[in-house]
């Protein structure tokens, strides 16, 4: 199979990144870059109040996502709460929801949610039984994003047998356990188990930070139809393209995101906080950027911030193949 044939056969999904990939970011990315089939929202966390928070509702409003292919993600361990949220999302026009069984955050795991739910396979099985029936009744599709266990990759065999009992649109596997967080290398033997034995379509997520990473993955797993990209896309928003990633493209994208936040968020201080989160990743796209990145992080006023960003864009070259620093550290 040629590189061109491989490229057209694989879809790219944008992973949900809490605090960063909300609707302002998604809209700007969709306007300036190409190749993403679907964007997943940062998780919605329903509870017994039966109300979305203002942030959650703003993020999924149809008018905030016009023309952008979006799938909402839900984080909970209660089937009733999940199904209420799915029903509300159906009212807003969505036809698929994604269950978050991957978040490794300590605060999430302590509440037995995200990858913390994986430690309780019997409860997870019952949850999926109720949710699958309810989702079918709503006429919606269910997908799952999962890690491979809480502490031991061997846990995944039992988890996979549970997932195989239910009709999933797809199973997105990040082959780390919760206690790995984002350290260590992915446990590819667990992913290969899923490829061999899953009754649902298996997609991949984890440590694809460069175009070479993606090409190598496609070569090794030609039957996998899609990959989900997160940190790599935040560092290089053009990761799914062959088009060069230039300072001019970054400038236009940055301005779009900045103005979007200024319309959506009151006060420059709050806007700067959001922009600095983005630069945590985007700054890695530039060579020798440490000093100028400090200026960006320390900027307290919009004028200071804009001047620091413009210095970076004007003075520092973009890396030939930008990639998230975790890739460099793990080698």
Instruction: Give me the residue label for tokens 């936040």.
Output: 261
Is 1 or 25 the better-scoring residue by pLDDT? 25
Q: At residue 329, does pLDDT exceed 90?
A: no
Question: Closest by alpha carbon to 273, among 284, 261, 263, 255?
Answer: 261
Q: For 82-104, write each residue's pLDDT tens digit.
A: 999 999 999 999 999 999 999 99
Residue 258 lies in a domain: yes
Q: Are residues 188 and 262 in the same domain?
A: no
Q: Are 62 and 93 in contact (CB under 8 A)?
A: yes
9: confidence class by pLDDT, cuts 50, 70, 90: low
Query: What share of the chain in percent tops pLDDT 70?
Result: 94
Q: At residue 2, does pLDDT exceed 70?
A: no
The DSSP-derived string for 259-305 is: HHHHHHSSSHHHHHHHHHHHHHHHGGGBTT-HHHHHHHHH--SHHHH
324: confidence class by pLDDT, cuts 50, 70, 90: low
Domain holding 122, by residue range, is: 41-206
Distance CA 124, CA 132 (A): 12
What would the two tokens of residue 149 be? 């266990």
Q: Are residues 188 and 62 in the same domain?
A: yes
Q: At residue 157, does pLDDT exceed 80?
A: yes
Residue 299 lies in a domain: yes
**DSSP E strand boundaries for 10-169:** 11-14, 36-40, 70-71, 73-74, 96-101, 141-146
Q: At residue 328, does pLDDT exceed 50?
A: no
Is 330 or 296 the better-scoring residue by pLDDT? 296
Query: How many structural domains is the chain composed of?
Result: 2
Residue 176 lies in a domain: yes
**Max alpha carbon distance in the chain (Å)?**
57
Query: What share of the chain in percent tops pLDDT 90?
Result: 92
Measured distance between the N- and C-terminal CA atoms of the chain, rounded to whole angstroms: 28
Q: What is the CATH number of the domain that holds 184?
A: 3.20.20.70
Question: Closest by alpha carbon to 85, among 95, 97, 103, 101?
Answer: 97
242: confidence class by pLDDT, cuts 50, 70, 90: confident
> What is the predicted pLDDT for the residue at 7?
42
Residue 322 lies in a domain: no
Q: Is 228 strand, coil or helix? A: strand
Which residues, other chains included, contact 209 with Cβ-Cβ below 8 Å and sequence gap of 6+? 231, 232, 235, 323, 324, 326, 327
pTM: 0.93
Q: At residue 318, does pLDDT exceed 80?
A: yes
Q: For 98-145, write each residue's pLDDT tens digit.
A: 999 999 999 999 999 999 999 999 999 999 999 999 999 999 999 999
Distance CA 262, CA 306 (A): 13
Taking residues 276-289, what's their average pLDDT? Answer: 94
> What is the predicted pLDDT for the residue at 320?
75
Question: Closest by alpha carbon to 270, among 87, 22, 2?
Answer: 22
């Amino acid at each position: 199979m040629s590189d061109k044939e491989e490229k057209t056969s694989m879809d790219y999904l944008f992973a949900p990144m809490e605090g960063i990939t909300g609707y302002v970011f998604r809209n700007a990315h969709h306007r300036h870059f190409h190749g993403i089939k679907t964007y997943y929202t940062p998780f919605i966390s329903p509870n017994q109040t039966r109300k979305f928070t203002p942030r959650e509702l703003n993020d999924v409003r149809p008018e905030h996502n016009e023309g952008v292919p979006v799938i909402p993600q839900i984080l909970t361990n209660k089937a009733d709460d999940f199904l209420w949220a799915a029903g509300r999302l159906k009212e807003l026009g969505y036809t698929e929801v994604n269950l978050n069984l991957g978040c490794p955050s300590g605060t999430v795991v302590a509440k037995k949610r995200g990858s913390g739910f994986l430690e309780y396979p019997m409860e997870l099985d019952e949850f999926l039984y109720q949710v699958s029936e309810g989702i079918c009744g709503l006429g919606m599709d269910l997908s799952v994003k999962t890690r491979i266990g809480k502490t031991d990759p061997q846990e995944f065999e039992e988890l996979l047998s549970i997932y195989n009992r239910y009709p999933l649109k797809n199973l997105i596997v990040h082959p780390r356990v919760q206690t790995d967080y984002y350290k260590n290398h992915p446990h590819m033997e667990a992913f290969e188990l899923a490829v061999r034995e899953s009754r649902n379509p298996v997609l991949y997520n984890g440590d694809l930070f460069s175009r070479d990473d993606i090409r190598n993955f496609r070569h090794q797993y030609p039957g996998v139809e899609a990959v989900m990209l997160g940190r790599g896309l935040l560092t290089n928003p053009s990761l799914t393209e062959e088009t060069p990633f230039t300072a001019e493209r970054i400038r236009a994208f940055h301005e779009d995101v900045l103005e979007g936040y200024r319309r959506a968020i009151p006060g420059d201080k709050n806007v700067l906080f959001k922009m600095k989160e983005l630069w945590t990743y985007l700054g890695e796209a530039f060579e020798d950027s440490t000093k100028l990145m400090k200026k960006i992080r320390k900027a307290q006023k919009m004028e200071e911030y804009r001047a620091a960003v413009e210095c970076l864009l004007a003075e520092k070259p973009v890396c030939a193949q930008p990639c998230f620093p975790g890739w460099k550290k793990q080698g």
